[in-house]
Structure 1
Amino acid sequence: MVLGIDATNIRTGGGLTHLLEILQHGNPKLVGFDEVVVWSNHQTLSKLPDKEWIKKETHSLLNKTFILSFIFQIFYLSKLANKRNVDVLFVPGGTFLGTFRNIVSMSQNMLPFEREEQNRFPNWKTRLRFKVLYYTQSLTFKKSKAIIFLTHYAKNFIAKKIKLEKKFQIIPHGINLDFLKMPEKQNKIENYSIADPFKLIYVSIVTVYKHQWNVAQAVIRLRREGYPVQLDLVGGFTEESLLKLNKVMGLDTDNCINYKGLIPYEKLESIYKNADAFVFASSCENLPIILIEAMTSGLPVASSNMGPMPEVLKDGGFYFNPLDVDSIYQAIKKMLDDEKQRYEKSLISFNNSNSYTWKECSDHTFRFLSEIAKHS
């Protein structure tokens, strides 16, 4: 059998990481695929592993703009897939408007489907882009032979939203094992001081659905009440959200909030390992990889109770409503006050994180694609 992969819209970020990792860790020949043909641009293909069963294909249209890549997908890719005798075409990007019939798509983005989250964005062009993605991905999912979701939350939400009845599989992504660190016994909050504070870290882009400003307000309140706590914020930003965060930081007379900006991924390991606990306040995720990295790092976690976070973290976190500053304050306060629960929950979350491996993701993905190919 021949597996095709439509990577025409994959260039950077989590989509590229996923594609690279499943090809690196998997062996599709074990489930009946003699070759895997990947269509993408030169830059993406150059980052993929070189294996005898991987055939890398490109086209001049794929090495220009996203619009031209889209045109290639619509008008050329199906013909080329048929010419290569592709049995099933995997669409990890979630959008495919070509004519090839036997496709398996994957959902990686919840923002096109969560209207309330879209409305947090002030820019109408951004909201319009999400609406376009909603229609293109809905159409793709409905014509797919099967769909891969990353969480049960995503599957249930999207299936209900677009009245979807398709064969599906839940296959979460893996994470980088460089973050692996066993949880440590926790100290009483009295053992910390203003000079040597309890260090909270929140790693994520500063944008409308991440709510860093709410976390900052909660931490400022704790510090004013005498808790020796510090919050480090790590990640890039959107202009309007950074302005909102800066307004809150202007109220930080104790200098307990530090925005460190974007830090190279390879340096995040040391950031996690130097922290005492992790905060995650997102209100919209498909699979929160950053949260899982923190779990793998053995850190106690205070987390949003929205989206798939409870599904991933289970009983391993101190939960709060990310839209409510007082709820965040109460969750972090509880975490600080109870070192026994801090340790017990970090053990639970660490053990939960062990199921998120790229080897399992890769093997599960190729098995499922093989099953669809054989029965179509």
Structure 2
Amino acid sequence: MILGIDASNIRAGGGLTHLKEIIKCGNPEKYGINKVIVWSNDNTLKALPDSTWLVKRSHPYLNKSSLWSFIFQIFILSNKAKKENCNLIFVPGGTFLGTFRKIVSMSQNMLPFEKLEQNRFTAWKTRLRFQILYFTQSITFKKSKAVIFLTNYAKNHISKKIKLGNRYEIIPHGINLNFLYEPKIQNPICFYSKTQPFKLLYVSILTVYKHQWNVAEAVIRLSKEGYPVELDLVGDFINDSLEKVNKVKRRDKYSCINYKGLIPYDELASIYKNADGFIFASSCENMPIILIEAMTAGLPISSSNMGPMPEVLKDGGFYFDPLDVDSIYLALKEMLDNEKLRQQKSLISYNNSILYTWKECSDRTFYFLSTIAKQS
């Protein structure tokens, strides 16, 4: 059996991590897949590990802009897959408009399917891009022999928007074991001071659906009430959202809000391990890898109650409405005031995080693809 993978639109981020890890941990021959052919640009292919069963294919169009990659996918890839005698094409990027009929697609981005979240963006070009993705991914999911989702939330939400077939599978991503750190013994809030504050961490790009400015407002309110707490914001930014955070920071008389900027991924594990607690205030996720990293790092977590966060974190979090500063403040206050509950919930979330491994993700993915490929 020969499996093709359309990675024509995978260049960086979570999509590239997913592709690297399922290949690195994969044993497709166990499931009857003798050869896997990946089509992508040179940089992506170089990032993929080598294997006896893996064949890497590039094309001049794939090393140009995204538009040229799209043209390659529509007009060229299907013929190449037929010449290679592919039994199935896997589309982890979510969009495939070629003529090859037997495909399995994957949903990794919720923004095309969440209109309210799209409307938070002020740039019309960004909103238009999400609308185009909604159109292309809807077509792809409808014509797929099966669809892989990362969470039940994503499957349920998207199936309300478009009519899907009966074949689907929930296969969550794995987690980098560099983040693995057993929960610390939790101290009462009186243990901390202005010179040694309780360090809250929020890792994520500063953007419209992450609501860092609301978190900052809540932390300033806690500082005003005498709580020895600091918030470290880590991640890249879009200009509008950075300005919102800076506007809040200008009112910070307690110097409790720190924006650290973008930190290399290889250094993030130590950032997690040096924190005392974590906060995640996103209102739109498909599968919140950052949240799972914090779970794996053994941190007590205060989390958004929207999207798939309760599905992933379960009973291991202090929940809030990310659009409501009062709600964030109350959740953080409960977390700070109750060290026993902090200890209990951090252990629950840590134990839940161990379920997310790349080996499990890889095995389940190749098994499912093999099962669909064998069907006539």
- Give TM-score, length-normalised by structure 1: 0.99
Q: What is the rounded CA distance, in whole Å, between the counterparts of 2:165 and 2:145 in structure 1?
A: 10
Query: Does structure 1 residue 149 correspond to structure 2 residue 159?
Result: no
Amino acid at match of 1:191: F
Give SS of 1:314's match.
helix
Q: Conserved in 2, the CA contact under 8 Å of 1:117 and 1:209?
A: yes
Q: What is the rounded CA distance, in whole Å, between the counterparts of 1:232 and 1:322 in structure 2?
A: 17
Following superposition, the deviation at residue 306 of structure 1 comes to 0.1
Give SS of 1:240's match.
helix
Unaligned runs of 5+ in 1: none
Give SS of 2:184's match.
coil
Q: How does 1:165-204 map to 2 (within 5 A)?
A: 165-204=165-204
Following superposition, the deviation at residue 59 of structure 1 comes to 0.9
Q: How does 1:237-256 map to 2 (within 5 A)?
A: 237-256=237-256
Query: Does structure 1 residue 45 correspond to structure 2 residue 45?
Result: yes
Percent identity between the two aligned chains: 71
Q: Conserved in 1, the CA contact under 8 Å of 2:107 and 2:149?
A: yes
Q: What is the rounded CA distance, in whole Å, between the counterparts of 1:166 and 1:258 in structure 2?
A: 48
- What is the match of residue 336 of structure 1? 336
Q: How does 1:219-230 map to 2 (within 5 A)?
A: 219-230=219-230
- What is the match of residue 85 of structure 1? 85
Amino acid at match of 2:218: A
Amino acid at match of 1:296: T
Q: What is the rounded CA distance, in whole Å, between the counterparts of 2:166 and 2:285 in structure 1?
A: 22
How big is each residue's C-alpha offset from its partner over 1:298-318, in whole Å with a ceiling of 9 and x where there is no partner?
000000000000000000000
Following superposition, the deviation at residue 165 of structure 1 comes to 3.0
- What is the match of residue 29 of structure 1? 29
Q: How does 1:129-140 map to 2 (within 5 A)?
A: 129-140=129-140
Q: Conserved in 2, the CA contact under 8 Å of 1:159 and 1:165?
A: no
- What is the match of residue 69 of structure 1? 69
Give SS of 2:316's match.
coil
Q: Conserved in 2, the CA contact under 8 Å of 1:10 and 1:44?
A: yes
- What is the match of residue 323 of structure 2? 323
Q: What is the rounded CA distance, in whole Å, between the counterparts of 1:344 and 1:105 in structure 2?
A: 38
Following superposition, the deviation at residue 166 of structure 1 comes to 3.3
Q: Conserved in 1, the CA contact under 8 Å of 2:147 and 2:169?
A: yes
Following superposition, the deviation at residue 50 of structure 1 comes to 1.1
How big is each residue's C-alpha offset from its partner over 1:175-219, in whole Å with a ceiling of 9 and x where there is no partner?
100010111111000111011100000000000000000000000
Q: Conserved in 1, the CA contact under 8 Å of 2:284 and 2:307?
A: yes
- What is the match of residue 356 of structure 2? 356
Unaligned runs of 5+ in 2: none
Amino acid at match of 1:96: F
Q: Conserved in 1, the CA contact under 8 Å of 2:142 and 2:163?
A: no
Amino acid at match of 2:210: K
Following superposition, the deviation at residue 375 of structure 1 comes to 1.1
Query: Does structure 1 residue 105 correspond to structure 2 residue 105?
Result: yes
Q: Conserved in 1, the CA contact under 8 Å of 2:6 and 2:39?
A: yes
Give SS of 2:187's match.
coil
Amino acid at match of 1:228: P
Q: What is the rounded CA distance, in whole Å, between the counterparts of 2:210 and 2:108 in structure 1?
A: 17
Q: What is the rounded CA distance, in whole Å, between the counterparts of 1:58 and 1:205 in structure 2?
A: 31
RMSD of equivalent CA atoms: 0.5
- What is the match of residue 210 of structure 1? 210
Runs of 4+ in 1 over 4 A off after TM superposition: none
- What is the match of residue 282 of structure 2? 282
- What is the match of residue 292 of structure 1? 292
Give SS of 1:4's match.
strand
Amino acid at match of 1:313: L
